[in-house]
Amino acid sequence: MTAPTITDPQLALVRTAAQAALAVLPTSRELTVGAPVSASADMLASGQAITAKFSGAATGEVVVVVGQDLADALKESPLGELDLTAAVRPALEAAARAFGPVVLDPGQLMEPGVALSAVAAKPDSVAVPLLDGGDIRAVLALSLSPWPADASGGGGVARRGTAEPAAMRGGLDMLHDVEMEVSAELGRTRMSVRELLSLTPGAIVELDRAAGSPADLLVNGRLIARGEVVVIDENFGIRITEIIAPGAGE
């Protein structure tokens, strides 16, 4: 791996971006920030990459490559298959905002070699290996146009708490910071297209649930609990009365 050609103050800003990303990156191991190097396609061949462009105080592209262990954990979560792009987006945002207030595009999932090759082809691109001992478990790659002249930046670094164990975290621990869509369902029904098209304001649609029956609580469309509808201030809420065992609501 070769050293990047950007200046020392810019390298310090890159390390700040890597530390910020690592603080919110869900991983199965406690990782450390390695020395910045020139981006290359073969840094981490196994896993998945998420790449996003950003603009604002700085303009460029950020790539996070995660190992296959995280990708597999998200696919096999007890709550169902979770979206890897959504899980890694906080790390993308944290890295980009180390250069100041920016707007990040939605990002896209890519093969690691393809994403890293695209960044490596750009002038003054840089990558930071995220290490478990001497092994690369994830990679943060950056390309800015132009690079800032100094290392003032605009983002802070949120570091991991020292109370976290250095040993491997398993199960859902590595997914704690992933945001998920939670919805409540009062009931369902089936209607023909003719009936749907005939709906008008004031029409009543009868659901398949009796009045007073518990409502379903769904996470990413999967039933996880049932409860009774309550009113909190001026908003509806659900008071949980039953937790559904994994697989029981399918």
Q: What is the pLDDT of residues 113-137, one digit of tens each?
A: 899 999 989 888 899 999 988 888 8
CA distances from 90 to 4, 28, 180 (A): 25, 16, 13
Tokens of 201: 């304001």
Q: What is the pTM of this model?
A: 0.61
- Residue whose token pair is 């996003």: 52
Domain shared by 69 and 145, yes or no: yes
The pLDDT assigned to 151 comes to 52
Q: pLDDT for 215-240, tens place per residue?
A: 998 886 788 889 998 888 888 899 99
**Euclidean distance between CA atoms 181 and 156, whole angstroms:** 28
Domain shared by 205 and 161, yes or no: no
The pLDDT assigned to 60 comes to 92
The amino acid present at 60, given as its one-letter code, is G
The pLDDT assigned to 171 comes to 45
Counted residue by residue, the chain has a size of 250
- The domain that holds 115 is classified in CATH as 3.40.1550.10
- The domain that holds 194 is classified in CATH as 2.30.330.10
Domain shared by 159 and 194, yes or no: no
Number of domains observed in the structure of the chain: 2
Q: Please report whether residue 248 resides in a domain.
A: no
Instruction: Say which residues have a Cβ less than 8 Å from residue 168's Cβ, sequence separation at least 6.
Output: 28, 29
Q: Please report whether residue 145 resides in a domain.
A: yes
Contact (Cβ atoms closer than 8 angstroms) between residue 128 and residue 34: yes
Q: What is the DSSP letter of 1?
A: -
Query: Over 90: is that where the pLDDT of 147 sits?
Result: no
Of 175, 194, 221, which marks where a domain is finished?
A: 175
Domain shared by 89 and 15, yes or no: yes
174, 179, 172, 184: which is closest to 83 by C-alpha?
179
Q: pLDDT for 66-122, tens place per residue?
A: 888 777 776 666 566 677 888 888 899 999 999 888 888 988 999 988 999 999 898
Mean pLDDT to the nearest integer, 55-69? 89
Q: Please report whether residue 2 resides in a domain.
A: no
Q: Please report whether residue 56 resides in a domain.
A: yes
Contact (Cβ atoms closer than 8 angstroms) between residue 44 and residue 66: no
Q: Place 19 in a pLDDT band, splitting at 50, 70 and 90.
A: very high
Of 122, 149, 175, which marks where a domain is finished?
A: 175
Domain shared by 44 and 59, yes or no: yes
180 compared with 9, residue with greater pLDDT: 9
Tokens of 84: 């890897």
The pLDDT assigned to 166 comes to 34
Q: Exposure pattern of 147-162 as b/e (b: 16+ CB <10 Å)?
A: bbeebebebebeeeee
Q: Please report whether residue 1 resides in a domain.
A: no
The amino acid present at 206, given as its one-letter code, is E
Contact (Cβ atoms closer than 8 angstroms) between residue 90 and residue 42: no
Concatenated DSSP letters for 35-97? --B---TTS--SSEEEEEEEEESS-EEEEEEE-HHHHHHHHT-TT-PPPHHHHHHHHHHHHHG
Domain shared by 132 and 95, yes or no: yes
Domain shared by 159 and 199, yes or no: no
Query: Over 60: is that where the pLDDT of 25 sits?
Result: yes
The pLDDT assigned to 133 comes to 85
Q: pLDDT for 153-210, tens place per residue?
A: 544 444 443 333 333 344 445 556 666 778 889 888 998 888 888 989 999 999 888 8
The pLDDT assigned to 219 comes to 80
Of 151, 175, 199, which marks where a domain is finished?
A: 175
Contact (Cβ atoms closer than 8 angstroms) between residue 195 and residue 203: no
Structural domain span for residue 57: 8-175
